[in-house]
Amino acid sequence: MKILLIQPPSQDFYRTSIRTQPIGLAYLAASLQAHGHEVNILDCQTEKKKSIPIPSELSYLKDFYPFHDRSPFKLYTGYYHFGLSWEKIGKRIGDSKADIFGISSSFTPYHGEALEVARIIKEWDGKKIVVMGGSHVSCDPQGVLESPFVDYVILGEGEYRLSFLIDCLGNGKQDEIDLIDGIGYKRNGNIYFNPLRSFIPSLDLIPHPGRDLLDLDRYQINKKRSTMIITSRGCPHGCAYCSTHLVMGSFFRARTPEDILREMMECRERYGIEAFDIEDDNFTFDQERAKRLMRLIIEAFGECKIELSAMNGISFASLDGELLSLMKRAGFNTVNLSFVSAELSTKKRMKRPQPVTDFDRILEEAERIGLNVVAYAILGIPGQTIEEMIDTLAYLMGKRVLIGPSIYYPTPGTSLFKKCEKEGNLLPHPTQWRSSAFPVETKEFDRLDLATLFRLARAINFIKGKIDQGELEEGTIWKNLSQALKDNVNTGNHAWANLLLMLFEERSFFSLRKNRGGEFSIQKEATSKKVLDCFFEKTLGKPVLGSRND
């Protein structure tokens, strides 16, 4: 049968293009091809962004995002449709002549885009079969199947399930669908589910992703062709905010280092790929396996001959100096660490893994080796206080790291989502459950507090960048920065230094606006005074370090 797998476009304030490679669809395509099916992938996110109006349910965000801000530590500059237009998608669907369409719905806030693709298919030809899978489907399969545009859903891993489903449909044996778990379907107007019970035990048996079906020039890191590599599945941690276990299970399953290396060699030899982003949730969970993989990469490619990253984040709880050193030699220049919060009680509430080595020790090792560090911090978790979030930013300000701020967003099926639901902290529309929408307010913080904290993290990172460039002195005490900024203003560096100086003097953020005549003006923006007052009180005597170790 002829199958078209589709990654829908997305609509949001921003998109990280290199994180959008539809590697899951490439895995499905390879498995379907192994079963004799004709498969293509339609990645609807390949075209450039187009500015669109903010939907009404997100209109409250206009107060937080001044779209015309030209300041160097601005937030977002517009709301966009990322990828093919709906009209082009409709044409590509019609031209595909596919019998079955598989649509990925990975994140709840963007499920509307997936449903729109399904609607386009059904309105073009109502007899075509639409199958939907992805993280959101595993979190809310009932809600997805209630749509008149979706015929089947796949829960959990799709490689074997989708092939089995299509074989049943192609052979006219729909009754045999009940023989496999993890499939939802409609029959006689009713919805049925075969509960998810199993996961693929041996990942080495899954065919390598069908990258030949992707536009590989679209995914680049430092002007090098890049791809995602998945070396393991399943997460035993069960963090309160994460839905990984719903999709991939709670049992850690790892590919052998030898199979991973074969895939990487194939990527370089067949496709000229030189950069690899390891997308695992638990790449270093088995330290010895991770070390063996790094050694194999060094032997096969040479030291620092390819570029490696792990943008999804690595738990520092499973790192040590030897592994970090091997990662550096294998091709890592930066390591992205899941820090979450400086408050231990929050980490315990979130069921984060307990570290064997503390974070400071890992940072010392990274500095010694010459690895740069991005530390991911989560802001806006229910139960957090403003003081705790400020302590986290203040702590990271004084470390040689770049801060990766992430606003908590509720994911259906997780224990924290259920808590938000029970306590009435959820906004009514799933589109609002995205990080950029500041989706949760509590008695401890509101959206203006979170927007101010987010902007503050951007400002700290900007200052760290100026330290790296030598324009501000390393280790300057926070309260002494104002004099350094005055010195920069006096030497002609007006824009960024002036804006930061006003932050110090007026305890408020300001935007830089350009009028129709081309002239710039500075405007005061909505700011949480209690956040900035608390931050300045806690950090006046604290040093600011740069972000680079290389």
What are the DSSP calls for 472-508, one per residue?
S-TTEEGGGHHHHHHHHHHTT-HHHHHHHHHHHHHSS
Give the class (CATH, top level) of 219-445.
alpha beta
Supply the pLDDT for residue 339.
85
pTM of the full structure: 0.93
Cβ contact 476:543 at 8 Å: yes
Tell me, what's the pLDDT at 354?
59
Q: Can you tell me the distance from the alpha carbon of 343 to that of 366, in angstroms, rounded to the nearest whole number?
A: 22
Q: Give the C-alpha separation, 397 to 542, whole Å.
A: 9
In Å, how far are 46, 94, 300, 486 from 88, measured between CA atoms?
12, 10, 43, 53
SS (H, E, C) 234-279: CCCCCCCCCCHHHHHCCCCEECCHHHHHHHHHHHHHHHCCCEEEEC
Mean pLDDT by 10 residues, the chain (550 residues): 96 90 96 95 93 95 89 90 97 96 96 98 96 94 96 96 93 86 92 93 96 93 93 86 85 96 97 95 92 98 96 89 97 92 73 68 94 95 94 95 95 90 92 95 96 96 95 92 84 79 93 81 93 95 93
Q: Tokens 């390598």 map to which residue?
A: 208
What is the C-alpha to C-alpha distance for residues 151 and 118, in angstroms, rounded to an integer?
10
Neighbours of 327 (CB within 10 A): 27
Whole-angstrom Cα distance, residue 330 to residue 288?
Answer: 15
Identify the pLDDT of residue 356. 44
Count other C-beta atoms under 10 Å from residue 513's C-beta.
Answer: 15
Fill in the amino acid letter for 233: R
Instruction: Please name which of 66, 69, 67 lies closest in space to residue 78, comparing C-alpha atoms.
Output: 67
Please tell me if the domain spanning 2-47+83-194 has the same topology as the one spanning 219-445: no
Sign of torsion over alpha carbons 211, 214, 158, 280: positive
Judge: domain 2-47+83-194, CATH 3.40.50.300: no
- Sequence ranges of the domains in the chain: 2-47+83-194, 219-445, 476-544
User: Alpha-carbon torsion 248, 254, 257, 258, what sign?
Assistant: negative
pLDDT of residue 378: 92
Q: State residue 338's pLDDT score.
A: 87
